[in-house]
Amino acid sequence: MTLADVARAAGVHYSTVSRALDTDTARQVNVETRQRVQALAKRMGYQKDMVASGLKQGRTHTVAVIAGDLGNPNLPPVLRGIAGGLEQGGLMTLISETRFDSARLERILNHLMSRRVDAIIMTAARPRDAPTLRRIRRQGIPLVLAIQTVPGIRLPACTNDDYLGGVLAARHLLSLGHRRFAQLRGPMEFSSCFLRAQGFSQTVAAARAEEVVVRSTALWASPELGGALMRELLDKKGVRPTGIFAHHDLTAFGALTAAEERGLTCPRDLSIVGYHNLPHNDRIVPPLTSIGQPREELGRTAAEILIAVLTKPGPTPAPRLVRPFLVVRKSTGPPPKAY
Amino acid sequence: MWSGGETARRMQRRGRGAGGRDGPGERTIVTLEDVARAAGVHYSTVSRALDPDTARQVNVVTRKRVAAFAKRMGYQKDMVASGLKRGRTHTVAVVVGDLGNPNIAPVLRGIANRLEPAGLMSLICESQDDPTRLERILNHLLSRRVDAVIMTGARLGDGPKLRRIRRQGIPVVLAVQNVPGIRLPAYTNDDDLGGELAAQHLLSLGHRRVAQLRGPADIYSCLQRAQGFSRTIAAAGAMEVEVRSTAPTGSPEEGHRMMRQLLDSKRALPTGIFAHHDLMAFGAITAAEERGLVCPRDVSMIGYHDLPHVERVIPPLTSIHQSREELGRLAAEALVKMLSSADGPPPSRKLPPTLVVRQSTGPPRDFR
């Protein structure tokens, strides 16, 4: 369905159709013709060719959002917040998944640039991606980081205050009387996990309590990897930690199962704090204490920043931090008496 | 590498960030002409050198030099513009109803895994199960020139919208959800069989009074589940108590609400309940517990989808398992065929689900 098809049906020149359908020029066409053309265009299902008009005006009204792992239940609410916020600005959201593969990220970015997206929101940035991100920025495509940030890259960013999340988890366990801790960490190249770990470790150290280090980290948020980390911890020699901080609820689920397999009961023998406060944490056994964060709010804030960048050229907006909160359920309690 | 305060401080330093430089229209896109100028050749030589179909027309030395310049300068072919000329953009749009549905990520992965080796990129759009938003998305996709559309969350009312896309010559493949009578290739689970498996399981445990907590009435897979279940129950001469309302979303809240309707009804409570979604089953169990009922002693509950951690809930949930990644792969496979050959669309396929028995189902109370 082209402009010419509508013109033929309406019995007018195609430039008249073009003018009648463009809000900027519609007044140049007399009311009767304009209304007839608009009605016909609608009936015939004519779509203004945004590709061609994007080529002329230099805007495609499309924003690409790059996700690492769409299977992470933490992500969809953030994406919804982004899409909702961008919609307000008349922008359409397209989502791509990298699965944390640098080669795929490169392919995706090249593809997006060749489609001339107006801007990109990156939710899975790692330090190793910095050169790629800098290249995009050099080409003049506005780029906003969400969820994950990269040190020194000087891009607008909106993240959760993950450092505070780690602090909250440590304080909760300390207040219950735990003195020996461990973390089941996510990848340290993610700012979110690095900062969670740092907030936790520094709070534990400041209280002169002890932290046992599990060297491995879980690349994916999955119960299987959580189970593996927990087994690594339980296989260690020495006194077993009683306060455990898992960087993801799914990791915590797997850790609970692994602990049960060794005859340990939560929270009698050990306490576990998860992260993300996933919807059915209250139905698992035991209901999981977790750190929650306003996910849609994070997405909406990222969209706001992007719209600001697109509409008001100026200095890079300051990074925004969204505050997490502690939700206490039944997976945490005082340590066993022997401790 | 990282430090909380320092990262924030660094980020706060107002530098020449993206926002600082990139007002609309200031974009510095490297064009064919820029590469030509740098390499000292005519732009048509650059064009030929960078197109795999024509690269052989350019001598090796020039070709390599042009390719090196293009890479160094960050040149990207304008796929949309060349799409206008050649009618291909190597992009497939995947439309999703609800990205928060834990079933969908593996389907998307199956799709991407098959499209990538065919040189196609999948871009995902979420309709949030809103028909107006879907309309906007489809219009946008048409005007943004995608090669094809994979629709994973079609509802019964979406037929006309999808047919309109098809009429514009854009191949459409349905995945996960079919629309009856639409005559588009569809790759779905056999949901009628899923309902039948749920009913057979409850019947085999001795249940004679059952009910369904149904999903939306405009989603074909839920209609099929309901149909397979009801038919099997009726054929066994057992009794199905009808819950009139349906759940607009597969959430614990909806399961809770519908279970309350059953519990508040004056009729005897069914002993076996089939929820069309695991999350609804969770909510229904909670509602039963609030009335002092124990699952499976007082009421058996069977869910659908076999979500990843249903084995960690109490009681571990009996559910219907279906293939997800394979479904995505089949849909993408069909699409690749449609794009590369002029034959008619490949045949639709239905994959059989399986029953996973855990501890939320048992014999009815009066049966013991």
If residue B175 lies in a helix (H) or strand (E), which one and from where to where?
strand B172-175
* pLDDT tens digits for range B157-177: 898 888 888 888 889 999 999
Higher pLDDT, A13 or B311: A13
For B6, phi and psi rounded to 5 degrees? -65, -40
**B22–chain A nearest CA distance, Å:** 6
Residue in A with minimal Cα distance to B138: A47
Does A326 score more than 80 pLDDT? yes
Does B13 have pLDDT greater than 50? no
Contact assignment for B140 to A92 by CB distance below 8 Å: yes
Provide the ipTM.
Answer: 0.77
pLDDT band per the 50, 70, 90 thresholds, residue B77: low
Task: Give the pLDDT confidence score for residue A48 in this predicted structure.
Answer: 60
Nearest beta carbon to residue B78 from set A116, A144, A317: A116
pLDDT in tens, B128-138: 888 889 988 98
- What is the least distance, in Å, from the CA of A31 to any CA of chain B? 26
> What is the token pair recorded at A314?
């100026």
**Residue B356 pLDDT greater than 80, yes or no:** yes
Angle at B76 between CA B49 and CA A140, to 5 degrees: 150
| Residue B347, number of CB atoms within 10 A of its CB | 8
- Of A151 and A182, more confident: A182
More confident residue, B33 or B279: B279
> DSSP state, B313?
B
- The SS3 of residue B135 is helix
Contacts 24+ apart (CB under 8 A), B24-28: B24/A58, B24/A59, B24/A310, B24/A313, B25/A58, B26/A140, B26/A313, B27/A58, B27/A139, B27/A140, B27/A141, B28/A138, B28/A139, B28/A140
Considering only the beta carbons, identify the residue of B11, B108, B140 that sits closest to A157: B11
From CA B240, how far away is CA B236, in angstroms rounded? Answer: 11
Classify A276 in phi/psi space as left (phi over 0), alpha (psi -120 to 50) or beta.
left
Q: pLDDT tens across A15-44, in order?
A: 888 888 877 788 888 888 888 888 888 777
Q: Which helix (H) or strand (E) holds B212?
A: strand B209-213
Instruction: Provide the Cα torsion B201, B207, B209, B213; round to 10°.
Output: -30
Cβ contact A298:A257 at 8 Å: no
Q: Provide the pLDDT confidence category of residue A71 given band limits of 50, 70 and 90.
A: confident
Task: Return the minimum-mean-pLDDT range out of A138-142, B264-268, B315-319.
Answer: A138-142
Return the DSSP state at B324.
Answer: S
Q: How many CA atoms lie within 13 A of A72 on its CB side?
A: 26
Q: Residue B80 pLDDT more than 80?
A: no
pLDDT reading at A49 higher than 60: no
> For residue A324, what are its two tokens?
């997490």
Q: How far is B265 from chain A (nearest CA, A)?
A: 26
Q: How far apart are CA B276 and CA B302, in angstroms?
A: 9
Looking at per-residue pLDDT, the higher value among B303 and B58 belongs to: B303
At B257, list the tokens.
């609400």
Check residue B78 and give its pLDDT. 61
Q: Name residue B234's amino acid.
A: A
Would you call B2 and A55 a contact, using CB atoms and an 8 Å cutoff? no
C-alpha B309, offset from chain centre: 19
At residue B116, the 3 state secondary structure works out as helix
Task: Give dist(CA A60, CA A49) in Å, integer.
Answer: 10
What pLDDT is stored for residue B101 in this prediction?
82
Residues B349-364, mean pLDDT to the nearest whole number: 95
Closest Cβ–Cβ partner in A111, A139, A315 for B20: A315
From the list A71, A149, A256, the residue facing B7 with the nearest CB is A149
* Closest Cα in chain B, distance from residue A258 (Å): 12
Instruction: Report the pLDDT value the prediction gives residue B261, as an integer from 0 to 100.
Output: 94
The answer to whether B140 and B149 have CB atoms below 8 angstroms apart is: no
